[in-house]
Structure 1
Amino acid sequence: MEAVLAIAIGILVASGVWLLLRPRTFQVIIGLALLSYGVNLFIFAMGRPRTGAPPVLDKAGIVDTSLYADPVPQALVLTAIVISFATTALFLVVMIALRGLTGTDHVDGKEPDR
């Protein structure tokens, strides 16, 4: 499970960084989205994902915390998903406006010479 999770995080982050370095704005936006998905998965993995474990402590006193899932990374990832959705929507609106103003979708605003 850990190896699959680590490989998935690595693929998402590597693909996101590769797309961030592309010359078109849509590719940059998709790269940012993939990078945020990789970071969200990494944060979620830091919370010891377990199946069938209760998320909160049910009694007072000294308990073994390794039997429980950590709810903080789950809450952080949920918040990050909402924020990344809003940021992606904003980037898409800005991209469409810049495409209308400049007539191109290159990051630097110029078409390459061919």
Structure 2
Amino acid sequence: MLELSPSTYCARKTRAKSARRLRDEELIPLVTAVWEDSGRTYGARKVTRALVRAGHMVARCMVERLMRELGIEGVIRGRAAAPRSPSQPLHGHRTWSTATSRPNARTSCGWPT
């Protein structure tokens, strides 16, 4: 249990909200609306651009922070990596020889053959 003096608790309860918190409360519905309108696909960069086009001055880092706090994220483009079974070697079928240190590595005697 956190021990606080009664005066500290009362001071915190009566303190006004910070300018950042007020701005966040103003932007949270806007960020959520743009994200929902995009079909939950827009990330912070596109949400920021949409808000700026709509006339709201907002930085991308602020949108990133708000989206992180809200637990929302955009869709990531590209294909997912194919799952690899443990029986498949990571680098193909290489044959290792004691004559060379590594494949395609120049040695003191020259290039391996």
Q: Which band: TM-score by shorter chain?
A: under 0.3
TM-score by length of 1: 0.26
Q: Which has the larger radius of gyration?
A: 2
TM-score by length of 2: 0.26
